[in-house]
Amino acid sequence: MLDLFLFFLKGTPSRRRKQFWALIILIVFSGVVELFALLSLATFIASLTSPVEVLESRYVVMATNVFGYDPKQNIKDFYVYFGLWTLLLIVLKNILIATHSYATARFDGVLNVDSGVRVLGGFLSMPFARSSEMKPSEVHQILGWKTHVGGLASSLMLIMSDTVVSLLMLLSLFVLAPVISICVAFGILLFGSILFRFFRNKINQLAEIASDLYVAINGITLKSIHGIRDIKHFNAEDESLFEFRKAQSQMSICLAKQRLFERAPAWVLETVGMGAIIISSVFVFVFFKVSTATLMQALSMVAVAAWRILPAVNRSIGALGNIRGIMPPLKRVRHFIEECERYSRIRSKTQLKQISPLSHSIEAQGVSFRYNKESDYVLSKIDLSVSKGEFLGIIGHSGGGKSTLVDILTGLLFASEGNVYIDGVKLDLSTDQSWNLQVGFVPQKPFFVRWFYCGKCCFYNR
């Protein structure tokens, strides 16, 4: 989980990592402010029941000694000032939470942008032989999964934020009410670990199924769009819709189960947490013979802590479920990026050479080609020489290798055996980019990007 997030974070600009650590600092600071705000609120509520006993408690006395103020001299003024202080802390807490929420959303967005650039840039820099083997639906889906990178960051930030606040609250609760806090913490940790183990495997299985269904639905959609001519010709509209509806129905069932298993632990933990609070409160009141005011002070703190901790635990469990759901797609994105970067490292280690404008001929010597080691040869032992200014036509049946030969001569593909020479200079990784800038090429199915215009042909003498 963390190694996957760090992989995507390391591939971003250095300022992105600085932003990440700034968010961590903001999370800790927000947690401390929220702790003081909730402690002040709990003390304020408890003091309404028995003000003198609360004001004479050890921690309140320590605080008044620090500030040099004796609240017992004028309890009404104390309530006014302490209420305003509590309100100020709550306002500051909400401002910090809003700031953190906005900053996290912005951070998620730029992570998605950086990841999308890495995916598309990696695909564009891939060797043509490899990129042409990939299914368009697969590349399109991987590019769409880039949004999960921001989702992973958002979920991790949520877990870290809630964990910081929950640990601080449990620590303060342990100091004020050790018996109750131990019961609550023990119940939540015990049942939480059991539930997490129980639901983890099921969530992982559903995530794998959902990932495969996403690819299948995307492939069906693109096949229907690109194959509309054949669908119309063979009256296959109903078959295409049936296939699409079937995959979508399976996806809806899978997502419903996934949502159920992600949220079920939170419902159980809420019940366990409330039960632990009630049982421990009764236990303390019956066996420890504490006063009602003391118990009220402890319960006020427990109620405030539970009001914050239980939803935090629920959100964290939901975030963990969400992370489990997006892990399989993110692993595919990582694998794709690593493959692209592997090709980029090979390219970066190659010393580039310049090819002068064609002056004599293009020669192919013993050129053979196959797209992978398992496939048959598309071309076999081709010898060819084309002089400058010469017009040459190549004819052959469909699938005979005409386009493949043109791709080899233009440097898009490299021969499996044999070599191509431009005025005696070997065409390989060191010279293909220079040669591409000098070659004019009109493919069988041209696709002109929006920044292409005829002037570029003239400008580059193509």
Model confidence over 342-388: pLDDT tens digits? 877 777 777 778 888 888 888 888 989 888 777 788 888 888 888 88
Per residue in 317-346, pLDDT (tens digit) is 777 777 877 888 888 888 888 888 887 777
**Mean per-residue pLDDT of the chain:** 77
Q: Could you tell me if 339 and 386 are in contact, meaning their C-beta atoms sit under 8 angstroms apart? A: no
- The predicted-structure confidence for 165-202, as pLDDT tens digits, reads as follows 878 877 777 776 676 667 666 766 776 667 667 776 77
Percentage of residues in the chain with pLDDT exceeding 70? 75
Q: Is the pLDDT of residue 460 over 50?
A: no
pLDDT band at 3 (very low <50, low <70, confident <90, very high): confident
The domains located in the chain, with CATH, are 2-348 (1.20.1560.10), 361-459 (3.40.50.300)
Tell whether pTM > 0.85. no
Please give the Cα distance from 121 to 440 (Å, whole number): 24
From residue 113, how far is each of 9, 61, 139, 153 by CA, in Å? 12, 53, 16, 13
